[in-house]
Every structure is written in structure tokens, then in C-alpha cells.
Structure 1
Amino acid sequence: MSDLPKSARVVIIGGGVVGCSVAYHLTKLGWQDVVLLERKQLTSGTTWHAAGLIGQLRASSNMTKLARYSADLYLGLEEETGVATGMRQVGSISVALTDERLEELYRNAAMARAFGVPVEELSPAEVKARYDHINLDGVTGGVWLPTDGQADPGNIALALAKGARQRGALVKERIKVTGIAREGRRVMGVDWVSDSGSDTGHIACDMVVNCAGMWGHEVGRMAGVNVPLHACEHFYIVSEPIQGLSQMPVLRVPDECAYYKEDAGKIMLGAFEPKAKPWGMKGIPDSFEFDQLPEDFDHFEPILEAACNRMPMLTDAGIHTFFNGPESFTPDDAYHLGLAPEMDNVWVAAGFNSIGIQSAGGAGMALAQWMQDGEKPFDLGDVDITRMHPFQGNKHYLFERSKETLGLLYADHFPYRQKATARGVRRSPFHHQLTEAGAVFGELAGWERANWFAEAGQEREYRYSWKRQNWFQNSAAEHRAVRENVGMYDMSSFGKIRVEGPDAESFLNHICGANMSAPVGKIVYTQFLNSRGGIEADVTVTRLSETVYLVVTPALTRLADETRMRRLVGDYRVTITDVTAGEGVLAVMGPRSRELLQKVSPNDFSNAVNPFGTAQEIEIGMGLARAHRVSYVGELGWELYVSSDMAGHVFEVLQDAGRDMDLKLCGMHMMDSCRIEKGFRHFGHDITCEDHVIDAGLGFAVDLNKPDFIGKAAVAARKESGPKARMLQFRLTDPEPLLYHNEPLLRDGEIVGYLSSGAYGHTLGAAIGMGYVPCEGESAAEVLASSYEIDVMGIRVQAEASLKPMYDPKSERVKV
């Protein structure tokens, strides 16, 4: 194999549609010395048997942007490369068989309008008019997306590969990567062997991209990185030719776990069954190439039976092909993209959860731009691989979770829906006490977190709905306790990262917007900014001593935030340590929180000794803790950090002392409803790497007077020019509708954006939303002078708008 180079700028491992897309987009940016290695033939893993559905609406604005980019790219590839992609914009129809599903579809239609995707809500009769072959039994309505399409998956990949070759990429088939050489946090090159075994070699490289699909987990281990995914069996049938069948839209019937695609006069019926069959637990056979798995008609039969009723012509048409092929699925049904946290030059694009064809074009473009610039081109938090925590690479965990994630693609996407599988992995020191008290747990990054508390005799589980769910009143009572009396909730899952060393202050001043030259005991609210002034992390930093700080991060982004710090250490003399599991954290919040703490501790919690934004070491019961006077709920309160060995004792002491005060245990739903009333931003929703800190209304957390720090120039420029958008808080004037996120935001009758987050404000008496309003060149008064509406499931609801928090705008309650 003398034509394989000894060195390359980048080696891409995997020749499916995603690997070909990464190669295509890197060369489009002008990269040379791009090498793609495929163990067998291009597309021979999962790409070749993909259904080729090209849907454009995804769960967030940027994921929709990437899907739309894919569709546009595929339409033009044939002209560029001469390879037919089969891309046809046939449109798609999704139908509902329940009122709950119809609300989901209509909410999605509203979201599509906010994202600029053409959409139309359909009555049952209108569904029939667009898809005559359907049996309307039970159909409650549907949604029409005219620009959705279908394409030939294999040819898309081959067209991308040809485009990459035309610009100088080397694409080699039948070359298997057998090892990856590493030094510290960098890969140095890859070892390879030819398919015949007769040739071996090594390619030194500056970076590696893992596009290995269902082999991605294994390739990740070779590179020293965690790529959590698991293969599952995936089924479809293709009918015999049906006389007179012409081009049809794609039809999805998610309540029956089915999709239908016309192809060359035949009907393909595909399934996303509720309980999937994991595959490849002992590894994928080395000979796997364009392979399929044994049929399992018993597993598929319930789907087929419902399909024959829904599509009567299938009853008479014979089955031409029964196909079972493996595809990879991730723990949260979102693909993996980006720079792996464990290494500084290993990139990942894998785990596409059966939507690889519609995602590959955009994912390749985004990753290539990220590799070029060293910063994400826009918010990719939904798919950034740093959201995955180390334990999620556990094979047993992946086996259990994959049984559920395939089916979740077509399950009802209810708000607050919790995963049912692979639970109980991470528990706080208070888990047992919370369970005894009636906690109903949700899961985030593996952490079991009390979301709400059931009353005596009430079932301890979610009953999902788009309307008020069964815990709505429970959370309202918890909300009132924090607003009017005193509540306590577990915050142990939040990340705790210790930064210590002689350069700790200067290092944190370099990466944080706020000034870290603070006295010992001071708590500083700040952001990690990128060079554009976008928000990479939203944290509090407590100075524990002259050389030690504690950075507290959201649970989900702990690894991402720690990784960012490690990559920016450079020559700073600091040590960074994750100490999350070392301390339990109880938040005691509400007007009587000081009274409760004074009952259990001899320490002074007065404003004179412990003002807002400071921490002090305290005695509590017979133990010790550190009391941080901060609040994410907008009330007087403390977060108590307790070493894990004393956590149970401290919980009991507070619970016993609080009984005659009617102390109420509270959950995460309460925290969310209280924080949104106070206008506090939620990282990942309200603030992301593409949201400028000034536009987000967080300029107060940036100190432009301190020496240079990351993003300083961008912040100074935006302060000078004024914001391009403003984060507003909205309150619906009708107390009945509920807000979640992504609802269209209308200003003076025109869609100008969408809500970044939403929850019910029990004190304000209506649903509350947060969202950005474009306002370049406008004053705050001009922005507020407009009238605003929120589109809830196609119905415009009038909303009050405010730049200041609607609840306690002067923050008097937290400082009392």
C-alpha cells in the first residue's frame, strides 16, 4: 500500500456518510493532507441500508439549521460531482392518533414557523386529501412539511467522497485502523492493516476524527476517549410493486411506531418499536460488510399488523424484503460531535440515532468549521460530546439504555419526560432520606435528582401530558413554601471543581468575565466567555483561600466546563480537581431560612457577618459545613456544602429543626419555576456560546477594568455599540396556557424569535417565558413599547414583557 502517506494533517476513521461529509467539508475549507480510511467499502456499515428520509425540523433552532443545510447540500451535490443523490422534496406528513400527540405536532408546527421551516397544520380530512391511501381510523389531525424529502443514502455518501477527492482528499477503502498512538493528551498517529492482512503501516497525523459509526465506541477506546453508543437491530420491510403507486410524501404515524416511504412503486414500512433489541454485545464481527441480521418476524409483527390497518393496500401487497440491520444509538438520542474532552486533537462525529442521512451534511459542515476555527461556529450544546460523562461509556449502561432510546424517537415527546432505563447510577448522599420523604426522581447526567415530592398516598410517578401534569400542584406548594416560608432541596448534583495553586487568581481572571481578585469568602457570579463574547459557561466562583477557589457549574456541563479550564491552563501554575462527589449540598431557601439555620448552628447568619455573596465555615448540629449565601430562586437563603460523610446527619438535623416551622422538601421543578420568575438565565437554553453576554443582560458580571481576559474586546465593542438583541421576560396574560421553550415570539404581529425557556410562575400567576428580541439600534424603551404575543400550539396569546425581573426586580428579598 505504498500510496498511503506516512503523515497527514488529519485522519478520518470511517467511510459512512458522516465520515465522507467531514472529508468533503474540510477540503472545501482548503485543507490538504486529508486522509479517510474505511475498513471495508464506503457505506458498508449502516449508511447503505438507511431509509434516506430528509426531515428538516429538529428539536432546536441550530439542529434545524443543520438539517436544512443537509437538504440544500444534497440538492446541489449531483451537479457538483456528477453522482445522483436521488434527493427529492416530496414533503412529509405526520399524523396523530391522540389529542396529546396532536398537541405535540401542533406545537412542533409553531416551532417550525419560528425556525423558518414551511409548515401547515392538517385536519383529518386534509390528511386524507394529501395521502389518499391512509385509513383515517382514529386520526385526530396532522402536520405537513412540504420541503422534507427522501434521497439515496449510499449515493449521497459516494457523492461527498467524490467531492472530497476532487479537492485532494485521499479516500482509501479496505484499510482498517488497528491502533492509535498517543502521547499525553494528543494522538500522534494511527496504525493500519489492509483487508487482506498483507500490508501494514503507520500514518503520523495532527488530529484524528472518529466517524466510525457503530464501531465508534471501540475506536474511541483506542484513542483514549469515551464515545457512548450501542448498536440496535433496526427493522423495515419493502412491499412488492403496487400497481398505480406514484410518488408520495413520507408518512409518519408515530403512535404506531411506523413510517412509510414510497420508492419505485413500492412501499417501505419502517419501525421504531418501544423496546428495541440491542446488538453486538460481544463486538461486531470483523467480517461485517453490507450485512444484515436474522429476521425476527415476531418482534416486527405488531407494527406490521397496525400498518396493514393504517395502509390497507399493504394487506394485498406481498413482502419483497424483510430487512434487519444494525444502527447505533446514544444514551440521549442526540449524536456526538466535537472535540473529545479526554484528548486535545481527537474529534468525534458518530452515533446518529437513525437520522444520519438528514444530519450528515450539516454535522460535517459544523465540525469542519469548528476544527478550522478552534471554536464552535454556533451553539452545538445539544450534540457536543462533552455532555457525555465518563460512566456513560459503561457497556452494561449502554446495553440497558439502548433498549429505550430507539423507541423514544417516535414516542410522545412530553415535557419533563424521564428515561426509564439505566437509572440509579449516581445518587446524592441524601438519596435515601429523600426517597423516604416521597421524592419522585428525574435523571440528569446520571444523577438521580428529586424533581417533586408526592403527598402521602399519592402515586410516585409521572403522568405525562402537554397540559398540567400530576405533579403541578405539588410543585406549586413547594414553590409557595420557598416564597412564603422555608424550603429545602438537594443541589449535590451540581458540579464542584477545585482550582488551586499560586496562579489560581490570575488563571481565573483570564478565563472569567468577572474579577476574581476578591477577598477570601467572596462568591462571584461569572461566565467563561469565548473570543466573540459568547457564553461558554455560567458559574459561581467562591474564593476559599488565597490560593484555592471552588467553581460551581450545572450538573450537565461539569465535564465541559472542567475540560475548558484544562485546555486553557497553559503555563499557569494551577491544579484542577473535580470534587463533585466529595460534598453533598442542601439549599435552604425562603423568608424563614435564617431562622431555621440559627436553630441548628451557633454561627451568625446576619447581613453584618454573612452578607449576600459570601461563604463561611459553620458548625451545624454536631457536624461542620460551609454556608454559601447565594440563591437561584430569588429568596433569602443558603447553600450548605457538607462533606459526604456528614451529609446524612446534617439533613436529619435540619429536618428535625424544621418540623415546627413547616419546612418543606422541594424539587428541581420548583427551582425552575422560581428562577424563571426572577429572570435568572438557564445555561444551555437562555444563554449559550453564541449568545453575547451583553445581549443576555449579564454585562454586570463582566469587569472591563481588569487586565485582558478572553472575550474582553468583544464585550467592550458590544457595550459601545449597544446590544443586537435583548433578553426579555414574558408573562402570559391568560393564566391557562403552558410554556416550555421554542414557542414563537411575535412582536407587533410578526415572528421575531422564539422562547429560549419557559415554566409556570406560581407567584406571578401565569406561564413565564424568556426570549431574545432583535433590537439593533433601538433603545430599551423602544423595545418595551411594542406589543408581544406568544404562539402556543398555533394560538397567539398576549404577553407582558419586561427587561427587569417581574418578581422582586430590585432583589430586595435575597438581601434582607
Structure 2
Amino acid sequence: MNKQLPSSAQVVIVGGGVIGCSIAYHLTKLGITDVVLLERRTLTCGTTWHAAGLVPTLRANYNMSMLANYSASLYEQLEAETGQATGFVRNGSLTIATNKERMSELKRGASMAKVAGFPCDVISPDHAKEMWPLLNVDDVVGAIYLPMDGMTSPVDTTQALAKGAKLGGAKIFENCKVLDMKIRDGKAAGVITEHGDIDAEYVVNCAGMWAREFGKKAGVNVPLHAAEHFYVVTENMPDLQHGLPTMRDMDGYCYYKEDAGKMLIGMFEPNAKPWGMNGIPEDFHFDELPEDFDHLEPYLEAAMHRVPKLMETGLQVFFNGPESFTPDDRYHLGEAPELRNYFVAAGFNSVGIQSAGGAGKMLAEWIHKGHAPRDLWDVDIRRNMPFQGTQAYLQERTTETLGLLYETHYPFKQFKTSRGVRRSVLHEQLKAQGAVFGSENGWERANWFANEGQAPEYEYSFGRQNWFDNNKAEHEAVRNSVGVMDQSSFCKYQIEGPDAEKFLNRVCSNNVAVKVGKMVYTQWLNERGGIEADVTVTRLAEDRYLVVSGVACQTRDLDWLRRNKGDHRVVITDVTSAMAVVTVMGPRSRDTLSKLTNADMSHEAFPFATSKEIELHYALVRASRITYVGELGWELYIPTEYAPSVYEAICEAGEEFGIKPYGYHTMNSLRMEKCYRHWGHDITDEDTPLEAGLSFASDFDKEGGFIGKEALLAQKEQGPLKKRFVAFLFENPEPLCYHEEPIYANGKIVGRTTAGMFCHSLGATVAMGYVEHEAGVTKAWIDESQFEIEVECERYSVKPSLRSLYDPAMEKIKC
């Protein structure tokens, strides 16, 4: 390093790969020019330099697709702006399918591409061969072609971003290792480097494979682990056409791209090889890892099957380089919950080049605005739990996550590795009842229950999976008699102190100044009116409340509470592990529980939204009359050690009523019939309660107001809402939809689904989602319009509704 480090900067970025350079570039575009980027060795020397440079535009969902599309557009114009060539070309991409299920996945992606506005053609095997003449299509059943996909030179693109950042005023220092963090008053305050200290208002961790270890220096959890990642390059192939689209054979775990008359073949193989378990060598830069022909042999054989010309072509390069992977194959973005003003952009799972433009823009805007610029929950670093940063968990999960990028992405598909992290105290009882477990935020949860003699395992499909009839039986038990469910994975927070009511009334949109023993359904909003959380609040005492939310939001919810605590005299305690939760739901739930308690469970004595501590069997239990399935029922909050005996007693008491245990898939089908929203899918920080049809859960007249009130009032004043949440019932009972399917009104795309599930009481799939109409999404417009939802490139007529599709008058709940 031959330049003098400044003593201070507004933003310090640690890491000089494509991500760090993109953030620096985008910060300067926003007028934040006091930016310093520090690279321990040389720009791109970690992972970026050996990336394949693919820039596809279609990702797993709409939001991520839009970010990828922005990257492509950015790279296309960078040379004109900076004078630095990027090598970007839009050569398109071709993805083939060799079985019906893969083709279903590709068609669903093609349908979603229409929402995003990308051209995407579903083509025949013969057409695929015309586009890729060396392709063997004997076992191909179909393909999709995306003409706007591209590829770029990773090093040149990074250099162009770096040059653009410097033109905007940013300073870049190579050969400057960051040794430690400076922290003050719970905020990032700068960095300590081998060449001096830099004070900073913001620090951004873009350290790639080193991000986890660097995060630890600030007490920040960045769960990622490096894995060996392979590609080969052939000798010159005279028959290989120039400018071919990138070709993916995901069933063979390989992609193929033309590279200056040669063919580059990359692998995303199952049973990947974690690397760097004992730390990354200090001098690691521009390094390669040893070859492993035995590991790759099955995939090279698959490549020769797919492109027979390879059988007579030699290999010139056998490359192995490390890439970092996260536990769920989604990158980490955003402000760390552990430390204010500390941002992370790392763990890009081999999609760093295609993601860098969009991710850099989003993080720069996040710093600039002080909040996420759009719904980024998929990649928000606050989704992580501390256990996910442990070495053993990451090492085992990494063997799976690399290959999952090319696995068929079935609905309800479960991870196989790093399982059993968090188990309910009822786990073994559920297992004995035939539970088939899924994993959510580390919890093992019963998703469905196998019948006697039925294998307790998934058989995946985009159609009706092997648990469809099990789901129907569980669903009907809850609707017609009684069901019991373990929901111990609920996140539970106790808020207590002299200012508990005042604090929660500021955070919650509804009024929690209620009598002891009353429950309140409410949202937490941001200043823009977007929904940050969807919770129930129970008043336990004058100065004490219990807040309950969904399993995925534990870190995020606690972060929101703590950052809004201010000077309020309250103590916030995570009590998730202290209580098991057993829900008893259905028209015979009262009869079942009454056999185990002397408490009066009648509607008059125990009305809806009431919570009481009662004697149940041998235990003292908090019984809360609330529902997420649309039936009479109670959530029972039980001290953990008493839960097994209470659960056993409930199952015995309910035998005469035909009680059945039910799982999370059934809870989903039940809640979909009631059109109950799910945070993270149906409602996010981009959606307001007015748009989501949840304004009834906001009290605009309560003293002191609430966060987001002014934004909601302003939205009300604008007239009819241009965006609204609508439920749809399919007229045809056959199709199944899940999320991201296009919604049409009068032949025009007006939105996309947020969730879908076959609902047995209604006999067809219910989908929910937001629709937009410039003149206002009024009931009259909805009633006058013809709606369709597209599933696998075929449109189906659906009936819209702004109300619940099952028991809209709530007669079954309040009885």
C-alpha cells in the first residue's frame, strides 16, 4: 500500500470483491462520497476472480429476479460510463428438463417471468437442439429459453465498478488488512487496520469467505462456510458455435458455456466438499485448490452424455476454487441485529456476479435511507439464529447447499443435513404418532402424520404429494371434531416494567391498554406504514405482557423491539424455550378440554380473545382462546417440563371425539380457507395494513398514536387503494399453486400470488395475493373483472373475494 489511509470516513467497506466494489459504486451514486474500501490483498483475489461470470435474470422469486435483472442492465452500460470494458454480452440461456417434474418447475418459472416482465420461451427438445447443435436431446422433455440472460468478465466488471466508485469520490486501498473493529455505544465506530485506524459512521462487511470470522470481531453472526467448487475447460472445439446461450442441465448438475472456442463446464454437485474448516490460510489469494477427479467423475460422465462431442475432446483446465455458501442458499444482506450501523453483504452461494449489482444498490440505499428500500426478507441477515453460525452446523449443511442450487425446487422440500437442532419436548410423542418432520429456524416440527403402515417420509412433486390424503384427514378432523397440534416453536417474548403498556402501545398499531387477561391481535409498523411483524399481545399483569409471533422471526422481532425501546423502562426477555405450546382446535375442543379442568370453558365465561391460567390435568396452564385455523379452540402455554403429560392427557380425553394430531401443512390449508395472513409471505414491510385488509387491527384514536400512523392516514387520504390483498378460489379443482404465480384481470397481469394451498373444505386450491389497479382496487372493479391465475403456463379461472372464504361471519370461532 503506497497511499496514506484517511483517519475517518463516513462508510468503510471491508472486502474488495465484486460485492464490495458494487456497494462503493452505488453509495457514490447516492451522493455518499466519503467512502473507503479496504482489500486485504488485491481486488477480486478471493472468490470473484474465478467466478464463471454468468448473469441470469430469473431467480426463485420476483424480488430476487428484479435485483438480478438490474445487475444485467448495470453491467451493460458500465463500460460507456467508466471506460472500463466488462465483457458483458446478452447471449441468453437455455435450461433443459429431462423429466416431468423438472419441466413443471421450469414452466412455473416461465410464468413468474411474465410478472417480472422478462421474455421467457417454453420450447421443445428439437428447438433446444437447433439452438445448441451439440446437445443430446434423446432424454430431454422440454426447455426454457431466456434471451435477456448474459455473461460477463468478473474481474473486468469488478474493475469497472471500482473505477466508477473512484470517479464518484470513493477511495480504494489494496494490501490493507483489517485487524479489528472499533465499537462505541452499541454502534460500529470504525476499523483497526495494519496501517492505522479509521473512524467511521458505518462499516460494511463484504469479506466473502472471511465474513464469518470478521463478523465475530464485532460479535456479529454471519453464517457461511466455504466449499470446493469445480469447473473444467476443454481444449479448442471447432464445432462449438460462438455466442451460444449458456446451457443448464440441472438434472445432470452441470452448466455449459462457450468460452473463446472452448467449453467451460461447471458443476453444482450433491455431497459437496466443505473447505477451510481450520481457517483460511493467511496468504490465500488467487489460489486454487487441489484437483479431485474421482469426486467429479460422475458429473463428467453426465456431461459427456449431454454433449457427446466431449467424449473426443480433451480437458485443458481442471479448476477447483472455494466459494462461500449459507445454510439456506440465500445471501446475507442488511444491518446486523447485534450492532447498529454494521452492515453485511456476504455469502452469495455462487450467484455473486449476477447478484452484485442489485445487492450493491439495495445495501447502499439501506445505508442512505436508514431502512431496507424494499422487501428483502429472503436475504435479510436478521433471519439467522446464533446456532447457524456454529462450525459443526455449517460444515454439515454446506455438503448439501451447493448441490441444492441445481436440485429440483419442490414445494415443501426439506433439508436433509444439520437436522435435529431444536426439538420440542413433545418430539418423541409426535414421532410415535407418525409425525413427518420439517425444519424451520432449526426447529423440528410435525408437518404431517403418516398412517400406520405408511412410510413417514416425503415423496416430492409439484402435484399432489404422498401426504395429500393425510392432510385431508387432519383438515377434516379440525373442521368437524377436534385436532391437537404442537406449536412450541412459536416465538414468545415477555415485556415487563413500569412503561410496558406505553412502550407496546407505541410499537403496536392496535391498542394494548386492555384488561389483564385480554388478548390483542396487532401489527408492528415502520414509519412508512409497512408491516414489520404480525403478533398477538396478551396482558398478563398491569406491568407485564406476552408477545407471540411466528417461528422465522425470532432474531428480527427482538431486534425491532430493542431498537425501538428508547428510554422506556421495560425489560424484554425471550421466553421461547420456557414454554411449550399445544393448540386444541375444532368444534369439540371445548368438550375435550372440559374433561381435564374444572375451569368454566363456556363462551360466556371464557370469550374469544381471553387468556386465563387454569388447572389442566396436573398442571397450571395458560389457556388463550384464539385461533389461526378458524375454529373454536385454545392455545395452551405450558411450562416445558409439564407439556408431555398434558399432551398425553389431551389425546386421551379427545379419543371419544375422534381427536387427531395435525401438522403445519394442515394448519396452512386451514388458515388459507380463512384468508389469514402469514408474515413474510402475505404481508411484509412493503405492505400496509390498509392494503392487506388488516386496518381493523389498528387503533387510530388511541392516545399517543403508534409508529406508522401518519403514513396510514396519508394513504387513507389518497382515495381508493391502488393495491389490495385478495383471496381467490380456483373453479377447477385440479391445479395447485404455491406462490409467485401471475394474477390476471381481464387478460392483463395485475399481480402475483403470495401463497396457495389446496383447501379441503372448499374442494379446490385457494390462492392469495396483491392486485393493483391504477383507478383503485374497489369492490366494484373486482366484481366486474374476470380473474385468472396462471399455473405452469396455463391460465385458470378463479373467484375473487375480499372476505374469508370459510365462515366469513366467524360464527364457528365465537360460539
Name the TM tier (shorter chain).
over 0.9
- Give, in whole Å, the separation in 1 of the partners of 2:780 and 2:511: 30
Q: Give the CA deviation at 1:52.
A: 0.5
Residue number in structure 2 paired with 1:717: 714
Residue number in structure 1 paired with 2:760: 762
- Give, in whole Å, the separation in 1 of the partners of 2:483 and 2:272: 41
Q: Give the CA deviation at 1:708.
A: 2.6
Q: Please, which of 666, 671, 690 is the counterpart of residue 667 of structure 2?
A: 671
Residue number in structure 2 paired with 1:3: 4
Q: Please, which of 289, 292, 301 is the counterpart of residue 293 of structure 1?
A: 289
Q: Please, which of 765, 770, 773 is the counterpart of residue 772 of structure 1?
A: 770
- Give, in whole Å, the separation in 1 of the partners of 2:557 and 2:38: 32
Q: Give the CA deviation at 1:440.
A: 0.4
Q: Give the CA deviation at 1:6.
A: 1.2
C-alpha contact (below 8 Å) 2:750/2:773 kept by paired residues:
no
Q: Give the CA deviation at 1:244.
A: 4.6
Q: Please tell me whether residue 185 in structure 1 is matched to residue 186 in structure 2.
A: yes
What SS class does the counterpart of residue 397 from structure 2 fall into? helix
- Give, in whole Å, the separation in 1 of the partners of 2:189 and 2:743: 49
Alignment of 1:290-689 (within 5 A): 290-689=286-685
Instruction: Report how many residues are paired.
Output: 810
Residue number in structure 1 paired with 2:80: 79
Q: Give the CA deviation at 1:453.
A: 0.4
- Give, in whole Å, the separation in 1 of the partners of 2:668 and 2:3: 60
Q: Please tell me whether residue 733 in structure 1 is matched to residue 731 in structure 2.
A: yes
Residue number in structure 2 paired with 1:791: 790
Q: Give the CA deviation at 1:187.
A: 2.3
What SS class does the counterpart of residue 298 from structure 2 fall into? helix
Q: Give the CA deviation at 1:185.
A: 2.1
Residue number in structure 1 paired with 2:799: 800
Q: Please, which of 202, 206, 218 is the counterpart of residue 201 of structure 2?
A: 206
C-alpha contact (below 8 Å) 1:722/1:776 kept by paired residues:
no
Q: Which amino acid aligns with 1:458?
A: Q
> Kindly tell me: are residues 776 and 508 of structure 1, through their superposed partners in 2, closer, same or farther at Cα, counting changes over 3 Å?
farther
Residue number in structure 2 paired with 1:704: 700
What SS class does the counterpart of residue 156 from structure 1 fall into? helix
Alignment of 1:149-188 (within 5 A): 149-188=150-189
- Give, in whole Å, the separation in 2 of the partners of 1:751 and 1:724: 14
- Give, in whole Å, the separation in 2 of the partners of 1:223 and 1:241: 49
C-alpha contact (below 8 Å) 2:755/2:769 kept by paired residues:
yes
Cα distance per residue 1:150-174 (max 9 Å; x no partner): 0001111111111111111111001
Q: Please tell me whether residue 145 in structure 1 is matched to residue 146 in structure 2.
A: yes
- Give, in whole Å, the separation in 1 of the partners of 2:532 and 2:263: 46
C-alpha contact (below 8 Å) 1:790/1:797 kept by paired residues:
yes
Q: Give the CA deviation at 1:183.
A: 3.4
- Give, in whole Å, the separation in 2 of the partners of 1:722 and 1:545: 41
Which segments of 5 or more consecutive residues in structure 2 lack a partner in the other structure? none
Q: Give the CA deviation at 1:77.
A: 0.5
Q: Which amino acid aligns with 1:722?
A: P
- Give, in whole Å, the separation in 2 of the partners of 1:296 and 1:686: 45
Q: Give the CA deviation at 1:2.
A: 6.3
Q: Which amino acid aligns with 1:399?
A: Q
- Give, in whole Å, the separation in 1 of the partners of 2:605 and 2:12: 59
Q: Give the CA deviation at 1:457.
A: 0.9
C-alpha contact (below 8 Å) 1:496/1:552 kept by paired residues:
yes
C-alpha contact (below 8 Å) 1:775/1:783 kept by paired residues:
no
Q: Give the CA deviation at 1:550.
A: 1.0
What SS class does the counterpart of residue 102 from structure 2 fall into? helix
Q: Which amino acid aligns with 1:512?
A: C
C-alpha contact (below 8 Å) 2:492/2:574 kept by paired residues:
yes
C-alpha contact (below 8 Å) 1:258/1:271 kept by paired residues:
yes
Q: Please tell me whether residue 811 in structure 1 is matched to residue 810 in structure 2.
A: yes
Q: Give the CA deviation at 1:254.
A: 0.2
Residue number in structure 2 paired with 1:196: none
C-alpha contact (below 8 Å) 2:782/2:800 kept by paired residues:
no
Q: Which amino acid aligns with 2:811?
A: E
- Give, in whole Å, the separation in 1 of the partners of 2:479 and 2:773: 34
Q: Give the CA deviation at 1:484.
A: 0.3
What SS class does the counterpart of residue 494 from structure 2 fall into? strand
Cα distance per residue 1:258-282 (max 9 Å; x no partner): 0001111111000000110000000
Q: Which amino acid aligns with 1:284?
A: I
Residue number in structure 1 paired with 2:93: 92
Cα distance per residue 1:247-301 (max 9 Å; x no partner): 1000000000000011111110000001100000000000001001000011111
- Give, in whole Å, the separation in 2 of the partners of 1:485 and 1:614: 22
What SS class does the counterpart of residue 671 from structure 1 fall into? helix
**Aligned-residue CA RMSD (Å):** 1.0
- Give, in whole Å, the separation in 1 of the partners of 2:105 and 2:69: 21
- Give, in whole Å, the separation in 2 of the partners of 1:775 and 1:502: 47
Q: Give the CA deviation at 1:184.
A: 4.8
C-alpha contact (below 8 Å) 2:88/2:150 kept by paired residues:
yes
C-alpha contact (below 8 Å) 1:500/1:575 kept by paired residues:
yes
Farther off after superposition, 436-445 or 652-661: 652-661
What SS class does the counterpart of residue 646 from structure 1 fall into? helix
Identical positions, percent: 55
Q: Which amino acid aligns with 1:803?
A: L
- Give, in whole Å, the separation in 2 of the partners of 1:534 and 1:15: 34
Q: Give the CA deviation at 1:318.
A: 1.4
> Kindly tell me: are residues 750 and 776 of structure 1, through their superposed partners in 2, closer, same or farther at Cα, counting changes over 3 Å?
closer
C-alpha contact (below 8 Å) 2:51/2:353 kept by paired residues:
yes
What SS class does the counterpart of residue 397 from structure 1 fall into? helix
Cα distance per residue 1:76-96 (max 9 Å; x no partner): 100111111111000001000
Q: Please, which of 229, 232, 244 is the counterpart of residue 234 of structure 1?
A: 229
- Give, in whole Å, the separation in 2 of the partners of 1:349 and 1:132: 40
Residue number in structure 2 paired with 1:135: 136
Cα distance per residue 1:123-182 (max 9 Å; x no partner): 111111211110112100000000001000111111111111111111100111111122
C-alpha contact (below 8 Å) 1:518/1:543 kept by paired residues:
yes
What SS class does the counterpart of residue 18 from structure 1 fall into? helix
Q: Please tell me whether residue 223 in structure 1 is matched to residue 218 in structure 2.
A: yes
- Give, in whole Å, the separation in 1 of the partners of 2:121 and 2:566: 53
C-alpha contact (below 8 Å) 1:209/1:347 kept by paired residues:
yes
Cα distance per residue 1:661-713 (max 9 Å; x no partner): 21100000000000000010111111111112101101111111122321111
C-alpha contact (below 8 Å) 2:484/2:583 kept by paired residues:
yes
- Give, in whole Å, the separation in 2 of the partners of 1:375 and 1:180: 23
Cα distance per residue 1:725-770 (max 9 Å; x no partner): 1111111111111111111111111111111100011100001100
- Give, in whole Å, the separation in 2 of the partners of 1:67 and 1:685: 20
- Give, in whole Å, the separation in 1 of the partners of 2:180 and 2:698: 46
- Give, in whole Å, the separation in 2 of the partners of 1:651 and 1:495: 20
Q: Give the CA deviation at 1:775.
A: 3.0
Residue number in structure 2 paired with 1:753: 751
C-alpha contact (below 8 Å) 2:691/2:725 kept by paired residues:
yes
- Give, in whole Å, the separation in 1 of the partners of 2:128 and 2:261: 21
- Give, in whole Å, the separation in 2 of the partners of 1:734 and 1:32: 57
- Give, in whole Å, the separation in 2 of the partners of 1:334 and 1:483: 37
C-alpha contact (below 8 Å) 2:252/2:302 kept by paired residues:
yes
Farther off after superposition, 710-719 or 622-631: 710-719
Q: Which amino acid aligns with 1:60?
A: N
- Give, in whole Å, the separation in 2 of the partners of 1:775 and 1:321: 54
